[in-house]
Structure 1
Amino acid sequence: MRQRNKPWAKEKLAEYPQYVIQSPEKHLGNWHEMFDKTGPLHIEIGTGKGRFITGMAKANPTINYIGIELQDSVIVTALEKIIEEELPNIKLMNVNAADLQTYFASGEVDRIYLNFSDPWPKARHAKRRLTYKTFLKIYENILVDKGEIHFKTDNQGLFEFSLMSFSEYGLLLNDVSLDLHNSHFEGNIMTEYEEKFSRKGNRIYRCEAQYK
């Protein structure tokens, strides 16, 4: 979906270094120092406007969260939510997910969330999908032993591709749901896209993939 450009976004992001981490590579291996309380570290890749990660941070105050989003015109909306809520257990990074190993040390992250990632539907673009094997290798390097990926999408093709990719990489699949909103899963926090798509009657797919 095309996002409206906000030329003032970069300046606003720079005004809140307590929430938007500048030069995140400087904190590699020491992210626990960036939060008021020590706790597990969960990251969301593709935070968008921040509804999911702010909801998670409110619901789980003992867990620390980092939202990662490349588009500054999008992540600035997430920043506005955090400012309003004054959440101490959430930070933002305006960076590319392909560079995660530049920012996180081995075993530093406990869980990764992938919510409604770009499906890149053309076969020749498969390597760009965030569940492609090269990304799974990056995630493996920064996650703790038996770390998890929690994945949601409304795109059936991407979900099927991701299940295959997870399985071929050797991950264990748990809580696979072909219709999340009509399942027994509790505590689901929706993203902006999730609410929009579900209102249209789209089925929401979800699974948890765990490294061995």
Structure 2
Amino acid sequence: MRLRNKPWAKDRLESYPQYVVAKPESYKGNWTEVFGNDQPIHIEIGTGKGRFITEMAKANPHINYIGIEVYKSVIVIALDRLIEEDLPNLRLMNVNAVELQNYFAKGDVDQVYLNFSDPWPKTRHEKRRLTYKTFLSIYENILVDNGEIHFKTDNQGLFEFSLRSFSEYGMLLKYVSLDLHNSSYEGNIMTEYEEKFSSKGFRIYRCEVQFQKK
């Protein structure tokens, strides 16, 4: 996906510290200071324009959500959504997923969402896939014991790779759908990308996997 640069995005993100966590490393192990409560924390890695995470926060006020996106020109659109909704249980972070252990301690996070991540289809790039074992290790080190990953994609190759990666890591496959929109699953909240491509007939794959205490 080619992104249009928005040189003003940095200043806009910095203008809303009540929504965008500016120095997340300072809250490692103490995210109750950000939300003012000890509700469970769910994070979405690659939150894009923010539709999914915003709708999840609206539907589940008893859960705190953090949308994580590395591209300023994209997360600023999610910020506009959050400003409009003004949800007390949602924050945004403009950081890279490889640095998550700098911001979260073990047990800070209860659940991770990976929605329509970059498939990095070339074999030589597999280490960049967000379901590669090194990323799984990062998630395990910030999640509670038996924490979960909920994963959605329209890319069959990435889904098959991810199922193997989860299994080889020793994770429990709790739910697998090879055609989400034609399944009995209830409560699905679509991303912008999901709505666009499912409307064109693309199959959506989804799974829920759980880390096993070692």
Return the TM-score normalized by structure 1: 0.99
1:139 equivalent to 2:146? Answer no
Q: What is the CA–CA distance in structure 1 between the aligned matches of 2:78 and 2:91, rounded to whole Å?
A: 10
The separation in 2 between residues aligned to 1:37 and 1:49, in whole angstroms, is 26
Letter in 2 for 1:189: I
**Aligned twin of 1:191:** 191
| Alpha-carbon distance between aligned partners in 2 of 1:82 and 1:36, rounded to the nearest angstrom | 18
Q: Is the counterpart of residue 7 in structure 1 residue 7 in structure 2?
A: yes
Q: Give the deviation of 1:94 after TM superposition.
A: 0.3
Aligned amino acid, residue 85 of structure 1: E
Secondary structure of the structure 2 residue equivalent to 1:106: coil
Q: CA deviation at 1:4?
A: 1.5
Aligned residue in 2 for 1:80: 80
Q: How many correspondences in the alignment?
A: 212
Q: Which residue of 2 aligns with 1:37?
A: 37
Partner of 2:108: 108
CA distance in 2 between counterparts of 1:12 and 1:36 reads 24
How many Å apart are 1:6 and its aligned residue? 1.0
Corresponding residue SS for 2:43: strand
Identity fraction in percent: 75
Give me the whole-angstrom Cα distance separating, in 1, the residues matched to 2:124 and 2:6: 31
Query: Counterpart amino acid of 2:112?
Result: I
Match of 1:65? 65
Tell whether 2:157 aligns with 1:157: yes
- The alignment's C-alpha RMSD in Å is 0.6
Q: Which runs of 5+ in 1 are unaligned?
A: none
1:17 aligns to what SS in structure 2? coil
User: Where does 1:166-177 land on structure 2 (aligned, <5 Å)?
Assistant: 166-177=166-177
Structure 2 length normalisation: TM-score? 0.98
For residues 36-90 of structure 1, the C-alpha deviation after alignment (integer angstroms, 9 at most, x for no partner) is 4320000000000000000000000010000100000000000000000010000
Do 1:37 and 1:62's aligned partners in 2 also have CA atoms closer than 8 Å? no
Q: Which amino acid aligns with 2:94?
A: N
Paired with 1:83 and 1:91, the residues of 2 have a C-alpha distance of: 11
The structural deviation recorded for 1:3 is 1.7
Q: Which segments of 5 or more consecutive residues in structure 2 lack a partner in the other structure?
A: none
Aligned to 2:124: 124
Determine the C-alpha separation between the residues in 2 that align with 1:174 and 1:14: 39
> Partners in 2 of 1:139 and 1:177 — Cα distance?
22
Residue 27 of structure 1 aligns with which residue?
A: 27
Q: Equivalents in 1 of 2:181, 2:93: separation in Å?
A: 30
Question: How many angstroms apart in 2 are the aligned matches of 1:195 and 1:36?
Answer: 34
Distance 1:3 1:177 in 2: 31
Tell me the residue number matched to 1:53: 53
Question: Is the CA contact 1:36–1:89 (under 8 Å) kept in the aligned structure 2?
Answer: no
Report deviation, 1:107.
1.2
Cα pair 1:175 1:207 within 8 Å, conserved: yes
SS at match of 1:55: helix
Question: 4+ runs of 1 displaced by more than 4 Å?
Answer: none
Q: What's the CA shift string for 1:108-141, capped at 9, x where partnerless?
A: 1000000000000000000000000000001000
